[in-house]
Amino acid sequence: MIGPNSFGHTGRGGSLGFADAKHGIAFGYAMNNITGGPNDVRAMSLVNALRKSLA
């Protein structure tokens, strides 16, 4: 996630949902092709882009 104040969890097939009160954001990602796992590259690339946008 984006920092120590984030909370949420991964879901089946690489989906991910979390929020971060410090930054005032929530993030959700779900797909229609169930593959991957907790470190799915699809979700992680979106989280990395989110991190960059907050910097």
pLDDT digits 0-9 by tens, 5-41 = 899 998 887 888 999 999 999 999 988 877 766 667 8
Hey, what are 34's tokens? 């169930």
Q: Do the domain assignments include residue 1?
A: no
The total domain count for the chain is 1
Hey, what are 53's tokens? 């946008």
Q: Do the domain assignments include residue 19?
A: yes
According to the model, what pLDDT value does residue 3 have? 86
According to the model, what pLDDT value does residue 48 have? 92
54 phi, psi to nearest 5 deg: -85, -15
Give the domain range for residue 16: 6-54
Cα(15)–Cα(55) distance, integer angstroms: 24
According to the model, what pLDDT value does residue 38 have? 61
Cα(21)–Cα(19) distance, integer angstroms: 6
Q: Which amino acid is at 55?
A: A
Cα(33)–Cα(53) distance, integer angstroms: 27
